[in-house]
Structure 1
């Protein structure tokens, strides 16, 4: 059994330079197409979502074994050694075809804080188990939309790849709640730096419960840790931070009051103006006129 380089995502003995889409120097999306049955093992550096488009895949993952068939998918946890057997489809010239997506935490966090979807999340006390899930027409169409990218990888720019990863997560959230819950569960398992999460997202319309989730904490743990770090409740700190930033922007930029209001995550201008006056002693328009 060969243990692969930890930076590798797979064990196919092919020319992967022509089958790999890179982002910031790491393998983001890989395509594996061949007609030779193979087996081996792979060490996962990142969470790996596998779309099987042709053939069969059997993986031994931890103490469990899974069989993935055509038009099915499986999510595998990072920092694990996975044993696999890949076999082609006898109905299609023994063809094996799969796509593999590296799901880095920052990409998932970016999606969660930018999407307009209201995503339901299972209570963290309930374990979300790894399972094979079917791909519907939406996800199959997404998979096919990636095929042209592999024909000329040199022309694929980072912004395209980030867009396609956001599309992947959106389609998965809409089309397969069971699989997306698995992704959320893996994302939730590792607490991240609270300051980093809060400072990055305080100016968006993200809710406090979303900040708790992004930091890998329950809502009660997040509020407790937040109080210890900032000596203020989260809602109070976020409101004051936004209002101070708004004052700074009014004094130093040419943005309109409306533009500043919405850029900082306030829901409407009248609410923004009212709390701005309560905090700074004057309405935003008067401050702008004074400047």
Structure 2
């Protein structure tokens, strides 16, 4: 894979992005509800082993607080270009306050998947086509215009399916979940402590306090130890290549991985015990 050339610029909570001539792959936690329109190229999302492909002219909704693998690809000789519209909690609460509560449907279930591919409807298509001139970063829209576009996107979702009410206007704080269960399932991802705290339903301070109760190690040292232990098993028992393993367990740099491995186990990952 060649070096990624990316251009990303934002106006309020609407992001315009280009990925030039190559692919970009990442796994990230979706922290806010998002509406994503693909202008060109292809967007492949994977959640729990299920892939969803989005092409030019298509749009998806991503529900917050979920981990999704994202691959951005050029296609048919065109760069990957997309528009991300973010719906943050404060914005949604502000809209909710203004809704006629008698018109809000009751007992509506949420979508099972956190990735919802939208049908091609005029309201969504016209919304994002009206935004495409702003791919030219020299043309800067006013913030109040961008907020109106967010409102347009939000109301379009509510018209498409009543299930969006359940996702968009759920203001309950996340439940606390088991820290070790979460970390054992997500140690390989590049998450900050703030993100881990958020996704386990805690403030950073309460996360650190709760972690001390279950481990003598700091969260950083625990993650390092966990990644190295799993890497050792993959190399020694499963016979995997070091060049594959260091990425699988969450290291970004091979030399850093090799150095940490040797300091921990007394020999390099290419040697047998």
TM-score under structure 2 normalisation? 0.52
**Which of residues 15, 22, 35 in structure 1 aligns to 2:7?**
15
**Which of residues 176, 181, 185 in structure 1 aligns to 2:163?**
181
Return closer, same or farther for 1:162/1:89 CA change in 2, 3 Å cut-off: same
How far 1:153 moved relative to its partner? 6.5
5+ unaligned residues in a row in structure 1: which ranges?
A: 1-11, 23-27, 193-291
Query: Any conservation in 2 of the 1:42–1:83 contact (CA below 8 Å)?
Result: yes
TM-score under structure 1 normalisation? 0.49
Deviation track 1:205-263 (CA, whole Å, cap 9, x = no partner) reads: xxxxxxxxxxxxxxxxxxxxxxxxxxxxxxxxxxxxxxxxxxxxxxxxxxxxxxxxxxx
SS at match of 2:11: strand
SS at match of 1:134: coil
**Which of residues 121, 136, 151 in structure 2 aligns to 1:151?**
136
Q: Which has the higher helix share?
A: 1
SS at match of 1:128: coil
**Which of residues 102, 107, 110 in structure 1 aligns to 2:86?**
102
Deviation track 1:150-204 (CA, whole Å, cap 9, x = no partner) reads: 4347843332222221122123333x22xx623x222344427xxxxxxxxxxxx
Return closer, same or farther for 1:67/1:162 CA change in 2, 3 Å cut-off: same
RMSD: 2.9
**Which of residues 65, 69, 75 in structure 1 aligns to 2:55?**
69
Return closer, same or farther for 1:13/1:109 CA change in 2, 3 Å cut-off: farther
* Alignment of 1:57 onto 2:35: no
Q: Distance in 1 between matches of 2:104 and 2:58?
A: 23
- Match of 2:95? 111
**Which of residues 7, 12, 17 in structure 2 aligns to 1:32?**
17
Query: Any conservation in 1 of the 2:110–2:167 contact (CA below 8 Å)?
Result: no
How far 1:72 moved relative to its partner? 2.4
Q: Distance in 1 between matches of 2:95 and 2:81?
A: 27
Return closer, same or farther for 1:78/1:97 CA change in 2, 3 Å cut-off: same
- Match of 1:128? 111
- Match of 2:150? 165
